[in-house]
């Protein structure tokens, strides 16, 4: 727990004090956010606000991960603490950094062209597929070789699983390694686009991501405390355990990312002094996808990230309705812009959508804990 707290604190401070520096640098580089002409007219006043702020909390998360590992070296049980960096960390941080890199290219092209059209939809999609495929293969084809004091292997889990999962793996739904990699790619694409579509109002995606990442930090730490690779816990055969890989790593990274987003939110809340851009939105989406895969809660993700699902579906519904009937269901999509045009203030929309995000997180955590109680009973 100490390592997780250290990571959260370091990430928060690096992001809190690093964001003003980023604001100055991006302002000096004239990296202002172009605003779509067809978007809500009230957004035109945001034109020129520095973008690509996601670089700050991505970097803060990586720095905090290193700090958290330094804290781990003081723990009495290094075997269970997993002091050495793991494949799990490579997958999670890799998804965040490389998905963020795809977003950075998009942001850079927007700034350079002084136009809201950056990387083409096809180019962005290809980037997401490549990132998902790369880390999906790593997640499915590199098992753990964790051993106990006698040299016996105690954990051969991979980061991802070949079976679909809800609260835990569902053995009857085995999709094979190739199928699991395909699902991994799909989850990465869904999560990155979901967060990206939600990033339309000051602080909206940042605040929602804090809740989702906080939930994954809780889930992963709970799995660590009830881990099948912990011989002290499994000594009692009646104890229910989680067959996952490196749950403390997952909790540490989720906590660090949440802390970094809180620090960024200080400057990103309305009126935002900096935007996360696609750099931050895709980076967060990639990390959230990795959290779902590594904690074996893939089918729980639509509930944890309920707000992202709702906003994404509003876009899908709008497109299908317009192409089939020529009519729009919403004044504008994504959904937050519909309420802007309906007269809601930006702050009201953000706070109310945060409440929706919180409800999704609360339901998901309730389901997760209820499953644990049922199995312990």
| pLDDT at site 32 | 75
For residue 230, pLDDT beyond 90: no
For residue 76, pLDDT beyond 60: no
Q: Span 297-312, mean pLDDT? A: 97
Phi-psi label, residue 114: left if phi above 0, alpha if psi -120 to 50, beta otherwise: left
Q: Label residue 2 by pLDDT band (50, 70, 90).
A: confident
67-71, 300-304, 356-360: least confidently modelled range? 67-71
Higher-confidence residue: 130 or 237? 130
Q: Label residue 38 by pLDDT band (50, 70, 90).
A: low
The total of other beta-carbon atoms located within 10 Å of residue 98's CB is: 21
Taking the C-alpha atoms of residue 71 and residue 83, their distance in angstroms, rounded to an integer, is: 9
Q: Span 292-315, mean pLDDT? A: 97
* Domain boundaries, given as residue ranges, for the chain: 1-376
| DSSP-assigned states of every residue in 90-128 | HHHHHHHHHHHHHHHHHHHHHHHHTSS--S-HHHHHHHH
For residue 219, pLDDT beyond 80: yes
Do you know the residue count of the chain?
Answer: 377
Taking the C-alpha atoms of residue 186 and residue 129, their distance in angstroms, rounded to an integer, is: 8
Is 314 within 8 Å of 193 (Cβ atoms)?
no
Nearest residue to 199 (alpha-carbon basis) of 108, 285, 293: 285
Q: Span 107-113, mean pLDDT? A: 87
Q: Tell me the residue ranges of DSSP E strands in the chain.
A: 146-147, 153-155, 163-165, 169-174
Higher-confidence residue: 17 or 70? 17
Residue 238 annotated as part of some ligand binding site? no
Is 51 within 8 Å of 34 (Cβ atoms)?
no
56-70, 137-151, 308-322: least confidently modelled range? 137-151
| pLDDT at site 77 | 47
For residue 114, pLDDT beyond 90: no
Q: Tell me the residue ranges of DSSP E strands in 148-297.
A: 153-155, 163-165, 169-174
pTM over 0.85: yes
pLDDT digits (tens, 9 = 90+) for 242-288: 999 999 999 999 999 999 999 999 999 989 999 999 999 999 999 99
Taking the C-alpha atoms of residue 197 and residue 334, their distance in angstroms, rounded to an integer, is: 7
Higher-confidence residue: 368 or 29? 368
Taking the C-alpha atoms of residue 5 and residue 156, their distance in angstroms, rounded to an integer, is: 28
Q: Span 218-232, mean pLDDT? A: 92
pLDDT digits (tens, 9 = 90+) for 119-139: 888 999 999 999 999 999 999
Q: Label residue 353 by pLDDT band (50, 70, 90).
A: very high
| pLDDT at site 116 | 67
Residue 230 annotated as part of some ligand binding site? no
Q: String of b and e for 268-277 (b: at least 16 CB within 10 Å)?
A: bbeebbbbbb
Peptide bond into 68 cis (omega under 30): no
| pLDDT at site 126 | 96
| pLDDT at site 328 | 94
| pLDDT at site 79 | 44
The total of other beta-carbon atoms located within 10 Å of residue 322's CB is: 13
Q: Label residue 40 by pLDDT band (50, 70, 90).
A: low
Q: In the predicted model, what is the mean pLDDT of the chain? A: 90
pLDDT digits (tens, 9 = 90+) for 134-177: 999 999 999 987 655 555 555 789 999 999 999 999 999 999 99
For residue 78, pLDDT beyond 50: no
Q: Label residue 232 by pLDDT band (50, 70, 90).
A: confident
In angstroms, the Cα distances linking 367 to 96, 203, 215, 239, 301 are 27, 28, 12, 19, 12
The total of other beta-carbon atoms located within 10 Å of residue 228's CB is: 18
| pLDDT at site 111 | 86
Taking the C-alpha atoms of residue 152 and residue 160, their distance in angstroms, rounded to an integer, is: 23
Instruction: Please say whether the dihedral angle defined by the alpha carbons of residues 35, 37, 40 and 45, taken in this order, is positive or negative.
Output: positive
Q: Span 99-124, mean pLDDT? A: 87
């Amino acid at each position: 727990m100490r390592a997780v707290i250290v990571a959260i604190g370091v990430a928060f401070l690096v992001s809190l004090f690093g964001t003003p520096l980023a604001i100055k640098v991006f302002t000096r580089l004239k990296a202002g956010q172009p605003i779509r002409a067809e978007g809500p007219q009230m957004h035109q006043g945001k034109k020129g606000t520095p973008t690509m702020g996601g670089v700050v909390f991505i970097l803060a998360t990586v720095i905090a991960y290193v700090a958290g590992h330094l804290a781990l070296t003081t723990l009495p049980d290094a075997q269970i603490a997993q002091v050495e960096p793991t494949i799990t960390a490579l997958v999670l941080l890799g998804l965040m950094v490389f998905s963020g890199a795809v977003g950075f290219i998009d942001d850079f092209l927007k700034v350079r062209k002084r136009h809201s059209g950056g990387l083409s939809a096809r180019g962005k999609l290809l980037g997401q597929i490549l990132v998902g495929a790369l880390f999906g293969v790593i997640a499915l084809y590199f098992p753990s070789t964790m051993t106990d004091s006698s040299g016996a292997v105690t954990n051969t889990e991979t980061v991802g699983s070949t079976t679909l999962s809800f609260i835990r793996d569902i053995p009857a739904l085995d999709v094979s390694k190739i199928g699991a990699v395909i699902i991994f790619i799909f989850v990465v694409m869904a999560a990155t686009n979901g967060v990206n579509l939600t990033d339309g109002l000051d602080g909206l995606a940042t605040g929602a991501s804090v809740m989702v990442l906080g939930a994954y930090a809780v889930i992963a730490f709970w799995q660590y405390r009830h881990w099948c690779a912990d011989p002290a816990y499994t000594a009692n055969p009646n104890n229910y355990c989680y067959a996952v890989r490196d749950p403390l790593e997952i909790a540490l990274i989720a906590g660090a990312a949440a802390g970094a987003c809180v620090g960024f939110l200080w400057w990103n809340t309305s009126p935002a002094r900096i935007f996360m851009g696609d750099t931050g939105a895709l980076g967060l989406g990639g990390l959230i996808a990795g959290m779902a895969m590594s904690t074996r809660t893939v089918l729980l993700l639509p509930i944890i990230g309920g707000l992202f699902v709702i906003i994404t579906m509003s876009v899908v519904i709008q497109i299908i309705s317009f192409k089939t009937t020529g009519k729009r269901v919403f004044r504008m999509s994504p959904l937050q812009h519909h309420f802007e045009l309906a007269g809601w203030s930006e702050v009201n929309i953000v706070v109310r959508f945060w409440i929706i995000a919180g409800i999704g997180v609360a339901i998901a955590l309730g389901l997760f804990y209820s499953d644990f109680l049922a199995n312990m009973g």
